[in-house]
Amino acid sequence: MTENIHYDNTSTDINKFSLHDSRAVFASFENEKLIFRFEDGIYYADYSDDWPNTGKAEVEFTIDLARGITVYQFVESDKQMIRKEIDLKLLIDRINSREWELEFLYRYDGYKEILYKCWIWENEGPQTFECELWISTKADTVFRWDDPVD
C-alpha cells in the first residue's frame, strides 16, 4: 500500500511543470493511480530556471484501465535496437528496490494519453536503456511538491 505523504503544494496546471531531467526513485500503481516520487524534485515554472527546482515531489496519474499503461524498453539485439515491452510491475519493483532509476526526458500529449520518453538507469551496470512510458489517463495529472530548500 502506498504511504500518503504530505506536500506543501498541489496543482493540476500541466503547463507549469516538467519532469525533464527528474529521476523517479519510487513508483506505485493501485486504485487506478500511478504515482512517481522524486527525491530531488521536479521543475516548476514559478521557481528558478534550474532543473529540477522544487523540493521533494510526486506526480499522480489517474489511469484509464481500458487502455492502461505500456512500458517499452529499447535493447540491443544482433547490432539492432529493438523495442521490448516490459511489465509495469517489473518497472515498479526495480525502481522501488533501487536497482533502477527512471529519468524522464520528454512528454508528448495525445487524446487522453501521455507518452514519456525516458532513460532507465541501472545502478549495478551501470547501463542505461531508452524507454517509452505510455500512460492512458482519464483525469488531470496531479503534481505535489515541497518548496525548494534554499
Residues 29-56: tens digit of each pLDDT: 999 999 999 999 999 999 988 889 999 9
pLDDT category at 124 given cuts 50, 70, 90 is: confident
d(CA 28, CA 145): 17
User: Is residue 150 included in any domain, yes or no?
Assistant: no
User: Is residue 115 included in any domain, yes or no?
Assistant: yes
pLDDT tens, residue by residue, 68-118? 999 999 988 888 999 999 999 999 999 999 999 999 999 999 989 999 999
User: Is residue 87 included in any domain, yes or no?
Assistant: yes
Q: What is the CA radius of gyration of the chain?
A: 15
Range of the domain at 110: 9-145
For CA atoms 59, 120, 149, 44, give the dihedral sign. negative
User: Is residue 50 included in any domain, yes or no?
Assistant: yes
Count of domains observed in the chain: 1
User: Is residue 27 included in any domain, yes or no?
Assistant: yes
User: Is residue 25 included in any domain, yes or no?
Assistant: yes
User: Is residue 86 included in any domain, yes or no?
Assistant: yes
